[in-house]
Chain A
Amino acid sequence: MAAIELSDVRKTYPGGFEAVKGISLPIRDGEFVVLVGPSGCGKSTLLRMIAGLERITSGTVKIANRVVNNLEPMQRDIAMVFQNYALYPHMTVFQNLAYGLKNRGMAKSEIDIRVDEVARILEIEPYLARKPRALSGGQRQRVAMGRAIVREPAAFLFDEPLSNLDAKLRIQMRGEIKQLQKRLGTTSVYVTHDQLEAMTLADRLVVLNTGEIEQIGTPLDIYRRPATTFVAAFIGSPAMNLVKAHRRSGAAVFGDASLPMADDIASGMEVTVGVRPEDLTVAGTKDALRLTLKIAYVEELGATRLVHGTVDGQNLVASVPVDCPLGETLEVHAEPSALHFFDPQTGRRLN
């Protein structure tokens, strides 16, 4: 168990492409940090630099207060779970789990004890004698987890370990990973592009975009106060509505609604206003801002219903209860406290 510290870590691939542009991130001992971002934003690259599978162009990576830049993965005392599991196909499950221990020169009797223990935790005992190809995807996933756990490393690194599973199994394994990590208390860095997975797993969420950190915070913080329009659009499903509004003194005007907004927070004539679909409610207080949504189409989700429509020519989505009556238009309300203001040029949060 150990803290991990990244300071100004950069990666430039041969050919000059800068995949990671100076990331500093302290990770506390026992913390579960999730790196999330769209495809190609450098998540895997960053994780692989921590693992020691990718050379670090500049900056330092410390694990347990030791600079590990030039150490082999094994010496860094980490374990990694790969997206396609990367189990050794010619070895049995037992041998897969034991291989790393054997390479460390552990005694056979001790290896047996450790593997049995982990197999019990992960409920893969019945499969110990099988080869990986005789396992289902979910079972392989467990074995891959087992191979990481059995080494009792200082940190777990996960690179999209659930993306090859079907939706239901993914949710189940997500819960198991979370519980297991809590129980073992091992520092973990988890990479995913699935924002829901990120929200549910993370103690702390790191949103990456084009090799840079957009925002760091607890999942709720990030959900409630996204720092940029990028984060606002990326975290949360359905995505936050972002619309353009014009500035007037003390207000931002959007359609026929006027949103109260302090004058001093921005300079330009325009402002980007964000509001989450679930914050557009059918009923509202008297302070609430009223919008008339011209309905384009409706998606039924069972528990709620997503109404897609336009206000003043800009697209908006509202998440409303299924019993709410629908016509040509829908009157929705947004509380002033639920509004997010962003600078349209920089995308930074204003309020």
Chain B
Amino acid sequence: MVENRPWLNIFSHIVLILGVLTVAFPVYLAFIASTHGPDDFMSGVMPVLPGPHLIDNYWQMLSQGVSTSGAPPLWRMMFNSLVMALMIAVGKIAISILSAFAMVYFRFPLRGVAFWLIFITLMLPVEVRIMPTFKVVADLHLLNSYAGLSIPLIASATATFLFRQFFLTVPDELTEASRVDGATPMMFFRDILLPLSRTNIAALFVILFIYGWNQYLWPLLITTDPQYYTVVMGIKRMADVADAIPQWNVVMATVILAMLPPVVVVVAMQRLFVKGLVETEK
């Protein structure tokens, strides 16, 4: 669309700038807060200019953590979060792409039932089934473990449906051509479906990684051992100290650090994602 209406242009830029400010300002404040000393927040007024304690705060968090909240050093929590997010993203993609493959390309007994079972779980987010899930995980002795953190979150249907939708758009002739070329079903999956799904996988990975990284309720419930705390719940514990003033400067330093991995994933994967889109588009 080619339009030349200066006022509309100015107006839309103002809206966009306001939008960016709304999103960016809290992040900015968080960053500023992470550069001040612990006493600068007593007055109740947030500073808006950087302070001198940037390196101190971050170093304290990374090396020791906040002992009063019983949290391990930040790098440990970041590592836990990373393991959980990766296990969830990779696990979900692996399971959902295989089940979508089965549902689209094979006729087997109770296929309809399987389809509807998966469909129903779509309507049951983790929070709804959290009690029974907790019970199952506890009985399996998976509390305080990476498996317990990630496996219950792997089972969900959204990704299966996305892949199913995509597979339905792959022309049948490709399947037939590969059969004539002597490919077994798993060879067809590996040599043709997987490469064709590359962009979908990249997009899902981004979404699922962030979903896993941001998990809060579930890790809070099943981890009592600080060795398995994740960074998102760690922030909550630090900010929620019983009878002292929260150390906002280090909490905010943690927040900033916790934001980095998802940002890295988005930026890194976006390239691949866009490249894939452009390639298939032509």
Contact = CB atoms under 8 A, between A and B. Distances in A.
Interface in A65-103: 72-74, 78-80, 82-84, 86-90, 99-100, 103
A51 interface: yes
A53 interface: yes
Contact of A74 (B173, B180, B195, B196): B180
Nearest to A159: B173
Given A84-B171, A103-B187, A133-B282, A72 B176 contact: no
Interface string B178-192: 111111000100011
A72 B173 contact: no
Contacts of A53: 176, 179-180
B180 A90 contact: no
A133 B280 CA distance: 8
A89 B180 contact: no
B179 A72 contact: yes
Given A82-B173, A84-B171, A84-B173, A89 B196 contact: yes
B184 to A, nearest CB: 9
A53 B198 CA distance: 27
Contact of B196 (A83, A90, A103, A147): A90
A104 interface: yes
A73 B182 CA distance: 7
B176 A86 contact: yes
Contacts of A84: 171, 173
Interface in B164-215: 171, 173-174, 176-183, 187, 191-192, 195-196, 198
A103 B171 CA distance: 21
Contacts of A103: 181-183, 187
A80 B180 contact: yes
A303 B280 CA distance: 46
A99 B183 CA distance: 9
A86 B173 contact: yes
Contacts of B174: 86, 88
B195 A90 contact: yes
A10 to B, nearest CB: 21
Contacts of A82: 173, 176-177
A279 to B, nearest CB: 42
Interface in B20-44: none
Interface string A39-77: 000000000000111000000000000000000111000
A90 B196 CA distance: 7
Size category of the A interface is 20 to 34
Contacts of A90: 192, 195-196, 198
A87 B180 CA distance: 12
Given A84-B173, A86-B171, A89-B280, A73 B180 contact: yes
**Residue among B174, B180, B192 with the most chain A CB within 10 A?**
B180
Contacts of A147: 177, 181
Contacts of B187: 103
Contacts of A74: 179-182
B177 A86 contact: yes
Interface string A153-189: 0000000000000000000000000000000000000
Contact of A79 (B173, B180, B183, B192): B180
Interface in B143-183: 171, 173-174, 176-183
Contacts of A73: 176, 179-180, 182
B179 A88 contact: no
Contacts of B178: 88, 99
B182 A104 contact: yes
A152 to B, nearest CB: 13
B192 A88 contact: yes
Nearest to A54: B176
A158 B136 CA distance: 56
Contacts of A51: 176, 180
A116 B264 CA distance: 44
Given A82-B176, A88-B192, A90-B195, A100 B171 contact: no
A80 B282 contact: no
A262 to B, nearest CB: 52
A276 B280 CA distance: 50
A99 B176 contact: no
Interface string A120-143: 000000000000011000000000
Contacts of B182: 72-74, 100, 103-104
A100 B179 CA distance: 9
A134 B281 CA distance: 11
B171 A88 contact: no
A80 B177 CA distance: 7
B199 to A, nearest CB: 11
13 contacts: A53-B180, A73-B179, A73-B182, A74-B182, A80-B177, A82-B176, A84-B171, A86-B174, A86-B177, A89-B196, A99-B191, A103-B181, A104-B182
Interface of B: 171, 173-174, 176-183, 187, 191-192, 195-196, 198, 280, 282
4 cross-chain pairs, A with B, having the tightest CB-CB distances, nearest first? A74-B182, A86-B173, A100-B181, A103-B182
